[in-house]
Amino acid sequence: MAVGDQIRDPRLQPLLETSRATLTKTLSVLSWLEENATVATPSPEQKLELAQQQKILNAYLAKLRGQQRQAAFGARATKQETAEARQEVDRLLLQLQNLYYEQRHLMGEIGACEGYDHAYTHLPLRPLDEYLAMFPDQAESSEQELMPLRIEHEKQEREKMEQERLELVKTKEALVKENTRKKDELKKMDEKLEGMIDGLKPLEEALQKDL
């Protein structure tokens, strides 16, 4: 493969073209010198032509040096850019690895949460079908949306039942108090009756003697 076929950077194409032109001109000058080497004393025309050929060749060489220097600066800048790009790629790769690590960590945490035996799963809630029968507008809700609603409903129901229980306790206490009062009254009445009976015993004994 020719050198020109290996160079594809458009910035190096002018240098390549100048190199080809310089090489062609150098070969032309060498060929001219070989053709006129047998001449002992060159004519003024030959000297003028040789001077013109050398001038053209020197112009090509000067242009080639300038383009070579510019290409060297460009290669140095490209090398710097490549090093910076490599550093950026390394930084991004490190960041990507950190993201993968964080992803694995989060997936592990999610798995642990999904497998965790949450206390709310053991709450004695109303069966789901009964709850949805009471609130059909929530039938399309997800499990995550339904669970807080079911827990809140159960909380309200239990608070209501607790309030009813407290009222029943108050009623019971009032009834017990009333029963105690009536028992005390009956006891007092029994004591009075016994006192009256005891008071009638002498009369009863006197009557029996008279008979």
pLDDT value for 55: 84
| Residue 15 and residue 97 share a domain | yes
Residue 62, in any domain of the structure: yes
Question: Does 126 score more than 70 pLDDT?
Answer: yes
Residue 128, in any domain of the structure: no
The whole-angstrom separation of Cα 200 and Cα 196 is 6
Please, which residues have CB within 8 angstroms of residue 141's CB and are 6 or more apart in sequence?
149
The whole-angstrom separation of Cα 37 and Cα 34 is 5
The whole-angstrom separation of Cα 154 and Cα 151 is 5
Residue 109, in any domain of the structure: yes
The per-residue pLDDT for range 132-185, each reduced to its tens digit, is 888 889 888 888 888 888 888 888 998 999 999 999 999 999 999 999 999 988
pLDDT value for 1: 45
The per-residue pLDDT for range 174-211, each reduced to its tens digit, is 999 999 999 988 888 888 888 787 777 776 676 776 65
Q: Which range of residues forms the domain containing residue 98?
A: 3-113
pLDDT value for 28: 80
Q: Is 36 helix (H, G, I), strand (E, B) or coil?
A: coil
Residue 67, in any domain of the structure: yes
Helix, strand, coil percent content, the chain, rounded in steps of 5 = 85, 0, 15
Q: Considering only residues 25 and 83, tell me which one the structure prediction assigns the higher pLDDT.
A: 83
pLDDT value for 163: 93
Kindly give the interhelix angle for 13-35 and 44-115, rounded to the nearest 10 degrees: 150
The whole-angstrom separation of Cα 4 and Cα 21 is 13
Question: Does 73 score more than 90 pLDDT?
Answer: no
Q: Tell me how many domains the chain contains.
A: 2
Closest CA to 33 of 22, 44, 46, 15: 46
Residue 206, in any domain of the structure: yes
Q: Which of 97, 113, 129 is the last residue of a domain?
A: 113
| Amino acid at site 26 | T
Question: Does 2 score more than 60 pLDDT?
Answer: no
Q: Considering only residues 66 and 42, tell me which one the structure prediction assigns the higher pLDDT.
A: 66
Determine which of 37-51, 95-109, 136-150 has the lowest per-residue pLDDT on average: 37-51
In angstroms, what CA-CA distances link 112 with 116, 144, 203?
Answer: 6, 17, 94
Question: Does 93 score more than 90 pLDDT?
Answer: yes
Burial code of 5-33, b = ≥16 C-beta within 10 A, e = fewer? eeeeeeebeebeebbeebeebeeeeeeee
Question: Does 16 score more than 80 pLDDT?
Answer: no
Residue 199, in any domain of the structure: yes
pTM of full prediction above 0.75: no
